Structure 1
Amino acid sequence: MKLSVEISMYPLKDEYIPAIQNFIDRLNQHPQLRVITNTMSTQVFGDYDQLMDVLKQEMRASYEQFGRAIFVCKFIDGDLAPENQDV
């Protein structure tokens, strides 16, 4: 089963950019996932189980390294990556 996730991270500190960039960089280290980042959010596409495992791991790593943050996520089944959509 494929999964599409839109995720936004809001670190609860003044210096928020390093925490966000670190999270995105770590997501990009997982070759089994497709990661698309824009100014508002990051979209991640992949196998349901693999994607959920990566999010679990990387969100925990963010909390441990940078402290409190809010993650706002939207989940939808299927691969909705831009080149996979019918126009």
Structure 2
Amino acid sequence: MQLSVEISMYPLKDEFIPAIQDFIDRLNAHSALEVLTNTMSTQVFGDYDVVMDVLKKEIRLSYEKFGRAIFVCKFIDGDLSPETRDA
């Protein structure tokens, strides 16, 4: 089963860009995922179990490294990546 997720991260500190960039960089390090980032959110596409395992790990690590943050996520089954829709 494929999964598409849209994530927005809101660190609760003045220096918020390093925490967001670190989270995005760590998502991009997982070769099994397709990760697209724009000015509003990051979209993640891949196998359901892989995506959920990665998000569980990386969200926890963000809390441990940078403290409090709000993660707003939208989940939909299927692969809605632009490459898939254009094909």
Q: Which runs of 4+ in 1 moved over 6 A?
A: none
After superposition, the CA RMSD in angstroms is 1.0
Deviations 1:17-43 (A, max 9, x none): 000000000000000000000000000
- Write the distance in 2 (CA, Å) between the matches of 1:33 and 1:65: 22
- 2:24 is aligned to 24
Shift, 1:6, TM fit: 0.2
Using structure 1 for the length normalisation, give the TM-score.
Answer: 0.98
- Aligned to 2:15, what secondary structure does the other structure show? coil
Percent identity over paired residues: 79
Equivalent pairs, count = 87
Structure 2: gaps (5+ residues): none
Gaps of 5+ in 1: none
User: Per-residue deviation at 1:85?
Assistant: 1.1
